[in-house]
Amino acid sequence: MTTRLPLANLLVGSAVVAAAFATAACSGSGSTPAVTPDAITPTIASTVVDGGSDGLAAELLLAGTGDPGRAQWHQEQRPVSDPDVAAALDALALDHVRSTVLGAAGGPNLVGSALVRRLAGATTAPPDSNGRSGNLDETLRAEAERVLAFAGAAPPGLETVPVLPWQSRSAELAAALTPADNTSWATLDLGQQGVRLADVARFLELRITVARRLLGELRRTYYGRDAAAGALGLLAVQQALAAEDALFSGVFTAGGPLGALVAPAEYDPLTAPRWLPAEFAVDLDPAVAGAPAGYAPLEGASDLAALGAMLRAGVELSELGDPTAGPALPGLFRFRPFAPPPSEPVIPVLSWDSEMRGFLRFHCGECHYDEQFGGYSIRSYEEMRTPGFTAESLNLQIVVPGDHEASLLHQIVTNAPFPFTQMPLGGQLLAPEIELIDRWIDEGAVESSPEPPAPPQPGDDLAVVSFRNLAALHFDAATGALHHRVEANGPADFTPSGLATATATGRTLRGLAAFVRRRPDEELAGRTAMQYFDAIVGFASRHQVDPEGAAYDAVEIFTGAPAGPAADLRGQAAMAAGLLAAAAQLPAQSPVHAAAGRAARYLLDAFDAGGDLFGERAGEPA
């Protein structure tokens, strides 16, 4: 018997694993050798994998023994019909889930997440019992005990549970694999501090899929077919909610620093656009091992493929509480174990944690974050308030809470006194940016808001904000096309790409198809979501797929002309899947059905010349 390893250990690229199983499943009718979970021989071909492994695991779960509600949930995807192959795919994906949900060092630690910090500030939170990380670790342990009680399970070790996924992670196990001990499933931490938005969407998608897969069964009042399955599913939901919370509490931008989007239900991108950037850095808290303390943009553009995937993840998270999700799942957010947030969002006092950490990192970090020019650092709240060499010698205070005029921070960005140089070097802050500094100081220059913002409505806020940004930033009203990128050169300077790509449009169509299934009447700028959907699908089917079904890698939006060759396997698969998902939401007479069929057939023909990868069994495409 071969011991199975986490899916990350098996990846060179997701296509390799998927192709291997598809070939094993479809190499011949009736004569295919049985593939069982124990027949898998794992090899480590690379010591580094990226966030795509979560997305692959989610797809394998859907292709495997799967979810009885799939017909309503993923209408464009069929399960594998061979029961042995399905079981093998299922086992491989669930091993990856156990690794990443329970123990892998795959990202910033849940213990320092906005979710846990909020709970730790409550009057009922447990006190610090070990002098480490304040009461955050005690709060996480108590919350895990409360949540997992609904599965009849005790909490596992939670020291390395991620709240967001690193851009890349190690494929090497930190210890010998012991299936009964989840702590041995941890992988080595590469020390990466970059997070891609597309990977966060995959992170969410996997955990939502796991929840549907494992929590649909009840044992009397307990979730899951057994305690282990219930615990894994509930922890997956907790991580998904914490990741969504982290995005809203600190990762939105307007072409500058990252900060909170406090009232997502009231968000209007037509007057003040804010979006999730394509890639961002996580500042780790030196006082709490591996915990996120703040965020900074690495790639500030709005990326359509990531946004479309985030839209789909938001819809699927919201669907966990839908009555059609299964007999057990709606109770997750009604009364057990995840209580609903307050109906009215709380507007917090401006704080270092909510706004100023990211603001100063963006404008001043080049000299005072990794470097500490003049002996002055902004890496933490305490360091920011500690004067540098010159200010200390002159007995000047960086901030005087309640009095911005007396604060050196205000003076040095407006009219720097001798011997200081006006900051930031080589530029001048805009008036609203100076007003932000002054407001923070006058409100008390606090580190954390006494009343933090309410957590987002599970999935709904994420889906609606993603849709509004897609419509406001990426949609071209004249053609119906979607710009695959929007570069941000400042808060009021947005440059759309002028190109519609197969990969980004196809992935977004899957998210939009899910969104209009639930919220067809959501409106922005005088159009409903269904009207946006019709226009986008129309452009894609007319201009992004040729009469033979081949998807163009990119087309020029304003002319509809191809801007490159035919799409590769990834682009063709994305477009075929997107059109199939879109067609499932449209009447049978819609021409989109024909375009989806052509794209799917071209995928099978062009990328399966030998007939081994995508064969047929019992007359149906595998």
396-405 residue pLDDT tens: 899 998 899 9
Top mean-pLDDT range of 146-155, 449-458, 608-617: 146-155
Rounded-to-integer distance, Cα 51 and Cα 200, Å: 8
Query: Is the pLDDT assigned to residue 292 strictly greater than 50?
Result: yes
Tell me the pLDDT tens digit for each residue of 78-91. 677 788 888 888 88
DSSP per residue, 490-512:
ETTEEEE-SEEEHHHHHHHHHHH
pLDDT in the model for residue 240: 94
Query: Is the pLDDT assigned to residue 71 strictly greater than 70?
Result: no
CB 231 within 8 A of CB 153: yes
Closest by Cα among 15, 223, 206, 19 to 95: 206
CB 10 within 8 A of CB 92: yes
Closest by Cα among 253, 255, 258 to 357: 258
pLDDT in the model for residue 200: 95
Tell me the pLDDT tens digit for each residue of 261-287. 988 989 999 988 999 999 999 988 877
In 3-state terms, what secondary structure has residue 86? helix
CB 113 within 8 A of CB 242: yes
Q: Residue for token digits 């020390």?
A: 191
CB 479 within 8 A of CB 551: no
Residues 6+ positions from 405 with CB-CB distance below 8 Å: none
pLDDT in the model for residue 460: 93
Query: Is the pLDDT assigned to residue 3 strictly greater than 80?
Result: no
Partners of 490 in beta bridges: 493
Confidence class of residue 561 from pLDDT cuts 50, 70 and 90? very high
Query: Is the pLDDT assigned to residue 15 strictly greater than 60?
Result: no
Partners of 296 in beta bridges: 281
The backbone torsions φ and ψ at residue 490, rounded to the nearest 5 degrees and listed phi first, read 160, 175
Query: Is the pLDDT assigned to residue 193 strictly greater than 70?
Result: yes
- What amino acid occupies position 128? D
The mean-pLDDT minimum among 100-104, 358-362, 399-403 falls in 100-104
Q: Tell me what the mean pLDDT of segment 205-217 comes to.
A: 88
In 3-state terms, what secondary structure has residue 141? helix
- 190 by Cβ neighbours in 10 Å (0-12 / 13-18 / 19+) ranks as middle
Rounded-to-integer distance, Cα 359 and Cα 348, Å: 17
pLDDT in the model for residue 596: 94
Confidence class of residue 1 from pLDDT cuts 50, 70 and 90? very low
Tell me the two tokens of residue 362: 């963006």
Closest by Cα among 238, 183, 182, 242 to 210: 238
Query: Is the pLDDT assigned to residue 11 strictly greater than 80?
Result: no
- What amino acid occupies position 620? E
Rounded-to-integer distance, Cα 513 and Cα 299, Å: 28
pLDDT in the model for residue 369: 84
Query: Is the pLDDT assigned to residue 22 strictly greater than 50?
Result: no
The length of the chain, given as a count of residues: 622
DSSP per residue, 202-235:
HHHHHHHHHHHHHHS-EETTEESSSHHHHHHHHH
The backbone torsions φ and ψ at residue 256, rounded to the nearest 5 degrees and listed phi first, read -140, -135
pLDDT in the model for residue 288: 80
Chain centroid, CA 186 distance in Å = 21
pLDDT in the model for residue 110: 86
CB 268 within 8 A of CB 473: no
Query: pTM, whole model, 2 decimals?
Result: 0.81
Query: Is the pLDDT assigned to residue 468 strictly greater than 90?
Result: yes
Rounded-to-integer distance, Cα 5 and Cα 28, Å: 28
The mean-pLDDT minimum among 268-277, 332-341, 437-446 falls in 332-341
Report which of residues 453 and 322 the model is more confident about: 322
Residue-averaged pLDDT of the chain: 81
pLDDT in the model for residue 329: 78
* Rounded alpha-carbon distances, angstroms, from residue 570 to 502, 558, 603: 9, 24, 10
Rounded-to-integer distance, Cα 152 and Cα 149, Å: 5
Q: Is 326 left (phi over 0), alpha (psi -120 to 50) or beta?
A: left
Q: Tell me what the mean pLDDT of segment 157-178 comes to.
A: 75
Rounded-to-integer distance, Cα 465 and Cα 471, Å: 10
Tell me the two tokens of residue 566: 């035919």
pLDDT in the model for residue 77: 65
In 3-state terms, what secondary structure has residue 109? strand
Query: Is the pLDDT assigned to residue 497 strictly greater than 90?
Result: yes
Terminal-to-terminal C-alpha distance of the chain:
28
The mean-pLDDT minimum among 172-186, 221-235, 473-487, 571-585 falls in 172-186
Q: Tell me what the mean pLDDT of segment 225-234 comes to.
A: 91
Query: Is the pLDDT assigned to residue 546 strictly greater than 80?
Result: yes
Query: Is the pLDDT assigned to residue 214 strictly greater than 90?
Result: no
- What amino acid occupies position 91? A
Q: Tell me what the mean pLDDT of segment 149-168 comes to.
A: 80
CB 112 within 8 A of CB 290: yes
